[in-house]
Amino acid sequence: MEEGTKKKVSATTGFIMGQLMMFISIYYAPLHLALGRPHTITVLVQINRRILGRGIIREK
Return the pLDDT at 24: 79
Domain map of the chain by residue range?
Answer: 1-53
Return the pLDDT at 51: 78
Return the pLDDT at 57: 54
- pLDDT digit string (tens) for 6-54? 888 888 888 888 898 888 777 777 766 777 777 877 888 888 787 777 6
Single pTM value for the model: 0.46
> What is the rounded distance in angstroms from the CA atom of residue 3 to the CA atom of residue 56?
11
Return the pLDDT at 28: 78
b/e map 30-56, b = 16+ CB within 10 Å = eeeeeeeeeeeeeeeeeeeeeeeeeee
